[in-house]
């Protein structure tokens, strides 16, 4: 397998929507360790934080408004990101009203905060959302499952970051900034609210 092919595969496996959905399912499952709490609260969270925004992006690709689901053109990212923020806000409101566990609500809030920061920066610069979500995932898994999660999460985050640089989707500073923002938000907002 060539390095470019490996980078393309890693870029898909560690795509933001994939990681966000998987992380919400894992955190929801963990929240279900509390007696009387369903393990499936991450499922509606994943729908609002990943499924609906991805569906909007894929519709944009099919209609020709967007070139692909990674939205490589910085100027095309703002509207899909605003749709993502709106979807997370609606989902978070619904989950609060339905009594979802704090961990799921904290993760949705941290994700929304990350989206706000990335959306603001995107106006001027193409910071890597792949890197931000991958680093945020590593920080969240570590907060939930302890330091052993680092053994799996950090190599995956590094692979996601490498893939974006290898594919020339981002520069090294764009990837480093994205990873720093994602890790910082996930390691501060999520633990503070959970």
Nearest one of 94, 9, 14 to 47, comparing CA atoms: 94
For residue 68, is it left (φ>0), alpha (ψ between -120 and 50) or beta?
beta
| Chain segment 54-110, per-residue pLDDT in tens | 999 999 999 999 999 999 999 999 999 999 999 999 999 999 999 999 999 999 999
CB atoms within 10 A of CB 7: 20
In this predicted structure, what is the pLDDT of residue 101?
A: 95
* Residue located via tokens 């949705």: 108
Nearest one of 55, 189, 175, 64 to 125, comparing CA atoms: 175
pTM, 2 dp: 0.94
In the numeric block, which tokens belong to residue 164?
């974006």
Domain boundary assignment for the chain = 3-29+40-193
Phi, psi angles (nearest 5°) of residue 93: -60, -45
| Chain segment 119-151, per-residue pLDDT in tens | 999 999 999 999 999 999 999 999 999 999 999
Task: Quote the CA–CA distance of 194 and 93 in Å, as a whole number.
Answer: 16
| Chain-centre distance for alpha carbon 176 | 16
Task: Quote the CA–CA distance of 52 and 4 in Å, as a whole number.
Answer: 30
């Amino acid at each position: 397998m060539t390095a470019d092919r490996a980078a393309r595969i890693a870029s898909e496996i560690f795509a933001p929507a994939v990681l966000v959905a998987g992380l919400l399912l894992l955190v929801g499952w963990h929240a279900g360790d509390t007696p009387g709490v369903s393990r499936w609260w991450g499922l509606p969270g994943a729908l609002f934080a990943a499924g609906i925004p991805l569906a909007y992006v894929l519709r944009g690709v099919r209609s020709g408004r967007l070139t692909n689901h990674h939205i490589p053109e910085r100027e095309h990212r703002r509207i899909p990101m605003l749709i993502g923020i709106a979807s997370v806000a609606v989902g978070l409101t619904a989950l609060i009203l339905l009594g979802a566990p704090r961990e799921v609500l904290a993760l949705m809030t941290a994700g929304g905060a990350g989206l706000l920061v990335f959306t603001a920066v995107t106006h001027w610069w193409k910071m890597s959302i792949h890197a931000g979500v991958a680093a945020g995932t590593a920080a969240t898994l570590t907060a939930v499952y302890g330091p052993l999660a680092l053994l799996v999460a950090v190599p995956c985050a590094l692979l996601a970051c490498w893939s974006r640089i290898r594919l020339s989707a981002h520069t090294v500073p764009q990837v480093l900034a994205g990873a720093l923002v994602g890790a910082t938000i996930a390691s501060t907002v999520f633990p503070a609210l959970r």
